[in-house]
Structure formats: structure tokens, C-alpha cells
Structure 1
């Protein structure tokens, strides 16, 4: 069991975290060149990932036996704050993805309500407030976990020094209130986001399909002129970009489920890990799956968002000006009256050109 623990947490995990740090730094630098409000959630998620990678450093040093066991303050941090801080930052990253999915769901399935909210409060300011609340909520949810472990004291008579160890606080873990807290914590930080991501993404995909069908119906040309065909091709570009963002949300949600569910399961059986080879291997796999989420975000965003790719090229000076076409940013909907028909119009970023997307 010690051999498995050493391979996973001392050899493999530092390599994964090092690659993940490079990817997340590139991710943040690229997102800084995108001003659309929905990408603020991705930026906040990437920053939480970077902070969690830094929080992993004491965890890796402890598993590599590179810490001073006679340093009481350091052992207090390892016992009480190490894992709660890591898990809180990972949860903050995941909750930002959930918030982005909710924003996407409202903009696609309830566009008029989305527009009214943007009129009463600026979208960017509201997004920043939500991000701050997400970070604060994640830290508060994991605060009771600081009492799950405690520091034990062992006196080494031969060396005449005091050695501190980390032991489980069985009295706290045996309390019914703490067991209820563990269930509530996993429901809020893991199982709840999984359920929300699955339901909301299904609704977003269904809403986009309805939009495409309605757009196809209202945009049937009366004559087959060359200018109308060109206009239709231009109008299809935002739809394709929105579809790519929806694919991005779906893939991100699927990888979130795969990477976080094993870690959620192990939290309920943590007391059996130390004495079982099966649970030791399962914990190692769960920890590795959880940190592999740092690896794929950068590539998924580049694959699914043309605006992200253009921002990445501008980062290295390969593109001098922003692309004229918007991507899948949350559409702002305006109600405009044309005769007796009320038509919703998508405003693509800050552009002056407007294209009808739906009839209300």
C-alpha cells in the first residue's frame, strides 16, 4: 500500500500537475483577451484550478516524506487545512462551470428574462458578484472539514524531540451531525452539480434545436438570389458557434462527472482506506482522476470556441484584431416590434449588425 501511495502521489501526480499548471496558465492568459461576460466564469474556474495546484504542493511534500514532523505549525496546517483548502478550490472551479451553464440555459431557453436581467444590472458586474459568492460559498462549505483530523503527539526519547502525526478525529466523525454534513457537502459540491449539468445541458441542446428549426422556417428565401444565400451563410455562423459552445459545455460536464464521482464515493468510505488494498487503489485512482481535470480544459476550449482560438492567436501576435464574428457568448435578446409581430433579436457582442433568431 505504501508503494502504491508513493507511485501515485510522488511520481505520477507531480507530472500531471506540472502539465496542468502550464495548460491553466495558457488558459488564463488567453481568456484575458476575451471580454465577453460568459468567459469570466471560465477565467474564474481556471484561476481556482491554478490556486488548487499550488495548494497541492504541501500535500505532495507530505506524501514524499519531505516535511518536518517536529514543526507543530506545519503539521497543524497539514491536519486541518490542507485537504479542505484543496477540495474547496476544486469545488469553486466546478461551481463556476455550473454557473456558466445556468447562464447559458437562461440565455437560450428564457431569452427575454435574460435580457431584462441585463437591463437592470450590467452583465459583467453581476457575473463578478456571482464568482465572488461562489468562492466564498465553496470555502464555507468545506470549513467544517478542518475538524475531521487532528494532530497526535509522539515523544522520541532516543532523539529527545517531539514528533507530530496526523490522525483521524474519530469523535467528530462518529457524530450524526457530521455525517449529515458529509452527505450535504457531497450533494452541494459534487452530486448536485452533476445533476444540474446533465439537466441544463439537455435543456440547452433542446432549446438550440428549437431555435434552429424556427430560424430555418422564417428564413426561407422567396427568391434564390446570390445576396440572400450569402446572408444566410453569415446568419448560420453564430448558430454554429453557439452549437460549439454547447458541445463544450456537454464535454466539460461529462469530464467533470468522470473525474469527480470517484472522489465523492471515497469520501464516504475514508475510514476503510488505510486498512484495505482495494480502497487504497480506489483512492489513488480517484485522486488521479480528480487532478487530470487540469489537463483537458485548455484543449477543449480551443477546439470548441472560435473566439478562444482567435484570442490565443492574438496572445502570440498571430492575429492583430478581433474576429468580426462572435462566438457563443450568452446572447442578449431585444424585443422589437415589426408590424404585428414581436421578434427576438440577438446582439452579437458589440456589433451593430443584428440578425433575427426567434419569434416570440
Structure 2
């Protein structure tokens, strides 16, 4: 990085390049090199691997048949994990750039100058906005439960596509921030091994570019933070109001138990929402001024490089923690994830929020069937001597009752009065058992 920094300085000032002096590093340049080495060679790879494993587990777990078509929240989490996975892979070339590990070719220089940084930051911005839409979906479920149209899977995919298109559009002008300089004619043959002739340097910034960068960071990082904070506060307020109304309707004998249970739920919800807001603030907001201030002239500024290293590590950590933060707090997801990791078959479906339990036909039966079965048994006992009149009368009465039931429905008689009570078969009972819990 020090060599590239000095080359950019010479090119900017149109000075003669002394390559012998250029290849000698000062102690100050070694300090910034050591900072980058510790940050991006030792710490960042661990965080990125940690995040890739988490994102892969998220996708594998949330695309499990038991969760694939359940709550819309799981769809948002799956899309968030895919975006974070792309983000983790996109920052790897940028880390290699900061470590001066890069291919020396015109195509690689073009990638670093015009594609690499805009791509990584556009994916980061998309992830931030997917978190906003995820929080918005939770807000609609709690505060506007009857507005189902805004929580449909179609709307989820539309918002996901909008997040990508919007962020790629606002980060596209970043592609003109740097230029590629070919200095093959200036580098002596003896230095071609040590100096790459394709140098990526900052372009001269027009006046509008600073305004663009400020507006971009306000839209992609700062404004989403305030949205997430506002929506989470509204969720907590609505939850407390709903809990208070529910407690007022309960009998005095039930209030003590329900109060203790609701207090624990409220405390857990408050801690979770508060942690989401704090982590979002700490890991996202500092990156806004960094992307505006970063420049070639600060490459050997030790203080700025320390700030840059800390901010980048925080942002890497945020994208790596999404699985552990949003998914592992759910016991159903933890259970399915454990079965996926251990390659165990799930014999009993998990009771997942938003997903219907075992179909009604398996767990319920009509008491009418039991009555008919008992009547048939008694009829067999009475009809051993060949008496067919009773069975004929039974069939006639059953047909007439069914016919009268249909006529009653046509006349507008409530259907509930025609349906016998259902019996719920417990899971430890056989389907043919005669006992059960009445609904």
C-alpha cells in the first residue's frame, strides 16, 4: 500500500519517480502496514469464516421443509442470510487489496478501481435495508395485525428486489471515484518484479461528489437506523398496551400467574429489541463518515487507519452475527438447526409459529362416527337371526337426517348446530382409540 500511495502522489503532482527511494519504507509506513496486517490478516478472516458458517446454516435451516412456508419472518431471514453471505464473499478481495495481495493485471486493476468497493458497499446497504423491512414486517404483525397484504410473500420479494436495485443505483457513482494508471513505460525492467505498472489512484473529485457521498450515507446507513429504532419502540409500546388490556380481562385467580409470565416475556422482548438497536447503531453508523473520508492521502495516517480498521471489523461482525442474533434466539429454529447439523431425521414436526400443526384429519374424529360404529355393532348383535328391518330403518333415518340437514343449511340454519363435537386424539393414542379430549 505504501508503494501505491507514493506512486499516486507522484502521478498527482506529475513528478519524476525515483523507484530506488520508493521501495524503501519509513517506520511510519511500517506502522500502518502492521495495523493492516493485524486487522485484515488475523482478525478479519476469523470473523468472515464465522459469518459464512452462520449464513450457510441459516439458509440450510430456514429452507427446511418444516420452515420453508411458515412465517414470513423466516423468508426475510433467509433473504438476509443470502445477502450477508454475498457480502462476506465480496469483502474478501477488498481485504486482499488492503494487504497488498492483488493480481498485477489490467483487469484486476479495473475491478479494484470501479467494481470492488461499490459492489461490497451496495451489498452491505442491501442487507441494512432488508433488516429494516424485516423489522417493518414484525411491526405490522404486532401493531397492524389485520393488514395482511403488507405481510404477504409477494410483498417480501418485491421489497427484497427494491432493496437491491435501490442500493446498487445509489452506489453506482462510486465507480468513478478511482482511476487506473498504466505506468509500464515509466517503470524500469529491473523494478517490474517489485512494482506493478497498473496503479489504482483516487480521481479528482468534483464538487457534487461530496454532496452525493453525504446523501448516500444518510440514505443507506443513518436513516435506516432511525427507522429500526422507531419501529422497535412502537412494537414494545404496542406489546405493553396489549398485555395491559389482556390482564384487565382476566379473573383475579389468573392474574398472578399471567403477570409473572408476561413480565418475563416483556423483559426478554425489551432486551432483544434494545440489543438490536444498539448493535445496529454501533456497527453501522461509524461506517458512514468512514466511506466519505477514506482517500489515498490518508493511507499512511496511523490514527485514521486505526479508526478504519475498527469500523471495518465492527461492520464485518454485524453481518457475521445476523444468524446468531436473529435465528438462534428462536427455539424452533435452534431445534431444526441442531438436527440439520447432526444429520438427524426429525420424526415429530416442530410446532413452529406461523405454520399449521398436524392436519385436523389425523388428530380429530367426529363422535358421529363412534355413534354409527356402536350402532352398527349393536345392530349386528340384534341382527344375527336375519332381521334386516332394523338396519333398513337405520339407513332410512340416516338418509332423512342428512337430507334435512342439507335443507336446513339452505334455509340459513347455522352450520354449527349441525356439526357434532370433535374429539382430539392425543399423540400417544392410536387412531382407533375411543377416548380423547373434546374440543
The answer on 1:135 being equivalent to 2:153 is no
Shift of 1:240: 7.6
Matches for 1:1-360 after TM superposition, within 5 Å: 1-33=32-64, 34=67, 35-69=70-104, 71-112=105-146, 114-115=147-148, 117=149, 123-155=152-184, 156-159=187-190, 163-170=197-204, 173=205, 175-218=206-249, 220-221=250-251, 247-271=271-295, 273-315=298-340, 316-317=343-344, 319-324=346-351, 326=353
SS in 2 for 1:151: strand
Change (3 A) 1:217 1:195: same
Matched-pair contact (CA < 8 Å) for 1:245–1:305: no
- C-alpha separation in 1, matches of 2:122 and 2:235: 28
Equivalent residue for 1:343? Answer: none
Matched-pair contact (CA < 8 Å) for 1:79–1:150: yes
Matched-pair contact (CA < 8 Å) for 1:14–1:60: no
Shift of 1:87: 0.8
- Which residues of structure 1 form unaligned runs of 5+? 329-360
Matched-pair contact (CA < 8 Å) for 2:51–2:320: yes
Matched-pair contact (CA < 8 Å) for 1:19–1:295: yes
Matched-pair contact (CA < 8 Å) for 2:136–2:231: yes
Shift of 1:107: 2.3
Between Structure 1 and Structure 2, which shows a larger proportion of strand residues? 1
- C-alpha separation in 2, matches of 1:310 and 1:245: 20
What TM-score, normalized by structure 1, do the two folds share?
0.77
Q: Give the CA RMSD over aligned residues.
A: 2.8
- C-alpha separation in 2, matches of 1:157 and 1:289: 42
What TM-score, normalized by structure 2, do the two folds share?
0.64
- Which residues of structure 2 form unaligned runs of 5+? 1-31, 356-439
Matched-pair contact (CA < 8 Å) for 2:81–2:323: no
Shift of 1:164: 0.5
Report the number of matched residues: 309
Change (3 A) 1:125 1:42: same
Name whichever of 186-195 and 2-11 sits farther off: 2-11
SS in 2 for 1:321: coil
